Chain A
Amino acid sequence: MKWMLFGPETGIFLAAFFFLILSMWRKPNPARDHMYALVLSALGVAVSLACVGAEGFLFSGTYRLDLFSQVFKVALASGLFLIVCLCASLEEIKKRYRQEFYFFLFVCTLAMMLLVSAQHLLTILLALELSSYSLYLLVTLRRNEDMGLEAGIKYFLTGIFASSIMIFGMALLYGATQAVYLQDLAQVMPELMNSPAAVIGMLLIFGGFFFKLAVYPFHIWVADTYQGAPDQVTAYIATASKVAVIAIVLRVISAVDQNSAYLVHVLAVLSITSMTLGNLAAITQKDMKRLLGYSTIAHSGYVLIGILSVGTAGYASAVFYALALLVMKFTVFLVVVVVSPRGRNLEIEELAGLHRRSPLLALALMVSVFSLAGIPPTVGFAGKFFVFMAAMDKGLFVLVLIAMVNVVVSLYYYLLVIKAAYLNVPRETLPPVHLSHPMRCLTGSLIATMVVVGFYPTPLIQLSEAMARSLM
């Protein structure tokens, strides 16, 4: 029954196929389609959970299943489910595209699931491209076509540029090592860590990942794409897609890096630039989604600290941070999606009076924003703390200090968001925000998750550590 190992992927693939058929055969019916999507994505979570224990290799060793990949698949399936929860009224997307929207969303998730298990350079490339192309299309689906198209083209052009860089890197690496399997690379890399071809090839491959992760200097698309894409798609890019890329970066780096000083230095520089640039640029933003875009760049910088602290502790902290990001970024986007005025992006000023219009949403915004800023007792703080601990174990004191200074800088714009929601008085009185009961429960449980896991992170830490060990 080796195919059972392939459960989550099969499930999501069938769901995507279902939407493809649906879009050809049936007229769109938003409520029904949303219900289908909800049920199928929930099933996806269930199947992924059932397959958490799976372990082994598939497809002649190009595909690896371990605790690391399987837990990330659960995270991705949950991310998909959460995003589908936000799609109850997809006003940003024309009715006739709704089914295709779900199709691409499921395909993209499938691609990311393939990505976290990929063990062969070509598998990595294929999975990454499949997810990228689905996202390029999703971004352009916005009703306001100018915005969507601009965002999509920017994303697409920088994306294919990054892919070509990555392919070039793979070619260089193959030339230097004659290996395409990660497990083979792990064998030959230690001797080659000082050969320019291997190191440059490695870095170019990481360039492709860093494009998806929005690390400087591959971040140019982020703000415009976040702004132009439909809110749900932005949320998806900011959560699930980031988690998947962090996973593959960890998988590749754990296979090839044997404490190469070159790589650590390059990554440290990229991390510092990303944090600083992201945080400084975010200060001046007026559009909520642009602000979140720049904060994503900063967060990628923090994650990189965990990644470059090579070793179980560093990888575990990066995994923890990735899972934390999924929850806290999603919560912010939940507020953005619900509060956004129809057909436009949410400006920060338009959050004014939120504490009157919906105390629950205001609380969710406050907790998630403080979590993003890394204020205890939230999961974001725990994540930062463990990342910094891993880095300090490697003696990177200055890096941690710079990161903490960045945390203080970022606090400024996060506080402005909170100020808008709790303090500013709206120009005209706005009606209360209506939240359905399931959405209330979802919001409440997200808040509880962030605080409880922030205060008692032990189970999640143990999980991350087990995942990091399964990686080595």
Chain B
Amino acid sequence: MPRFEIKGALSMQIELAGFPYLSAILVTCVAGLLVILLLPEERKAEIKWVSAGFSGTTLLLCLYLFFAYDKSKGGLQFVEKILWVPSLGIQYFNAVDGFSLPNLLLTGIVFFTGVLTMWQLEERVKEFFALYFLLVLGVFGLFVSMDLFFIFVWYDVSLFPMYLLIAVWGTTRKEYAAMKLTLYLLAGSALILPGMIYLYAKSGLHTFDITALMQPGTFTAAQQKFAFPLFYLGFGILAGVWPFHTWSPVGHAAAPHSVSMVHAGVLMKIGAFGVLRVAIFLCPEGWQYWSGVMAFLAAFGIIYGALAGLRQTDLKYVIGYSSVSHMGIVGLGLSTVSVEGLNGAVFQMFAHGIMTALLFSAVGYIYDRTHTKEIGELGGLSRVMPVASFYFILAALAGMGIPGLACFWGELVVFIAAFKVYPVRTVVALLALVVSALFMLRVVQRTFYGPLPEKHAQLNDVSFSLGIPRMILAGVLLLFGLFPALLFDVIETASIPFMNGLPR
């Protein structure tokens, strides 16, 4: 009786460069998730401490990676490769470079501070943190993965917990917002997946490995021009590219605070990062071909976000529209096809992530006390809660691009790079920045100054322990505002070789 042999099921090919730090981050998330699932529902305090512990560990790992990365060598480091599905050429391939490292650090910071921001949550605590861990697992995975299959897997893993996180713990029109957001973002994946498989089939290399697929000459110019818009739109929906941004303010306003933080702070960066890592890496000629359209959409997004933000009465909607505007700056940077543009875009991703996280964290504190996000019902808050107001105002100033805070550098570098290539669009977008400064100032003035409504006269200011997450975020904002080279040095290790390798 002949027998069929199924070979290779147990023999895996593994390639490691030292301790697998990147997998350690992912494993920490999974372990945290499992521990939370195993804890009984009633032990809310333990669940929070466990969450803080595991998220703190990932932050430490991210910090270690950020400083252990060898800037003089550049390129991909901390490589981990496991042949996952040999017959289809799928690899479990993790590595970091100068583009992913800032985002990894950003995710670590926002993850940890997000857990602390939700410290006072009392409703369905266990499920919340379990889903939150799942969401962040996807984000971490996407930033470290170098294999298209896994990028797609992590992309979706980071999206679907959003539905429940918003629909269960959210506020304004939460069910509508959750459904809209999920369908919009997964509609993006309906473009990404065919695009990925298309490139896989056309390359003939039988691999999903980005480093192999990005070699010049793998794809013809026509194939790149065809595939680029699929990725650009697919990931761009998540990055809030106009006119596919409408899910974003609605989703931001409805989500619970820490989810808004992760969402605006990190999730939108996944979109921009996906455009960079997949669309631009694999289809550089498509990138050059479509860059004019990208710049147009980005500039339009900047203007549109600023003008729409001017009309909002809900604090979270204001931040939501400012995110659309700020992510437009990232898009503008990416569209310049230059080293400075890429540097500025990645820097802006990081800075905007920290800034919005701080904004949402501050709004979260205010909302928990006053139970309103309507600007008209607030006012004079700086008198009763000066510290909480300070955090919001600091973040708002960062959003306006005040020198000394991190966002300034990102915006400056992007606009300098963009002005060389698209002078008209850049000037118009710069005018929009003035508008955005105006609306931020208007919000600050109406919320924190002026007459204080009587019902808010007895509010407590933020306590030291509750202020920790905001302190961390504000500190990071200042640190990278004063020493931008810390980040630019890392980003340049990736952007300069990448641009030099481009066919001209």
Contact = CB atoms under 8 A, between A and B. Distances in A.
Contacts of B152: 376
Interface stretch (B160-168, B384-392, B405-413, B414-422): B160-168
Contacts of B87: 461-462, 465
Nearest to A53: B3
B194 A397 contact: yes
B471 interface: no
Interface in B172-216: 175, 179, 182-183, 186-187, 189-191, 193-194, 197-198, 200-201
B197 A388 contact: yes
Nearest to B202: A392
Contacts, number: 104
- Secondary structure of the A contact surface, majority rule: helix
Given A355-B127, A370-B160, A405 B190 contact: yes
Interface in B249-308: none
Interface stretch (A119-127, A251-259, A279-287, A415-423): A415-423
Given A67-B4, A411-B183, A422 B168 contact: yes
A20 to B, nearest CB: 32
A269 interface: no
Contact of A385 (B149, B163, B191, B201): B149
Given A55-B1, A388-B197, A456-B84, A418 B190 contact: no
Given A376-B153, A423-B167, A461 B88 contact: yes
A395 B197 CA distance: 10
Contacts of A386: 88
A49 to B, nearest CB: 13
Interface in B1-16: 1-4, 6-9
Contact of A53 (B2, B179, B197): B2
Given A381-B156, A418-B163, A465-B87, A401 B194 contact: yes
B4 A392 contact: no
A192 interface: no
B197 A389 contact: yes
Contact of A459 (B6, B187, B200): B6
Interface in A23-64: 53-55
Interface string B1-44: 11110111100000000000000000000000000000000000
A458 B85 contact: yes
Contact of B8 (A415, A462, A470): A462
A386 B3 CA distance: 26
Contact of A461 (B85, B127, B190): B85
A392 B190 contact: no
A381 B167 contact: no
A280 B40 CA distance: 40
A348 to B, nearest CB: 15
Contacts of A54: 1
Given A423-B167, A458-B9, A461-B87, A411 B182 contact: yes
Interface in A375-400: 375-377, 381, 385-386, 388-389, 392-393, 395, 397, 400
Interface string A269-280: 000000000000
A55 B2 contact: yes
B1 to A, nearest CB: 6
Nearest to B90: A458
B157 interface: yes
A389 B88 contact: yes
Given A388-B194, A404-B194, A470 B88 contact: no
11 contacts: A67-B4, A385-B197, A388-B197, A395-B201, A400-B193, A400-B194, A401-B190, A404-B194, A459-B9, A461-B85, A466-B4
Interface of B: 1-4, 6-9, 84-88, 127, 149, 152-153, 156-157, 160, 163-164, 167-168, 175, 179, 182-183, 186-187, 189-191, 193-194, 197-198, 200-201
Interface of A: 53-55, 67, 355, 370, 375-377, 381, 385-386, 388-389, 392-393, 395, 397, 400-401, 404-405, 407-408, 411-412, 415, 418-419, 422-423, 455-459, 461-463, 465-466, 470
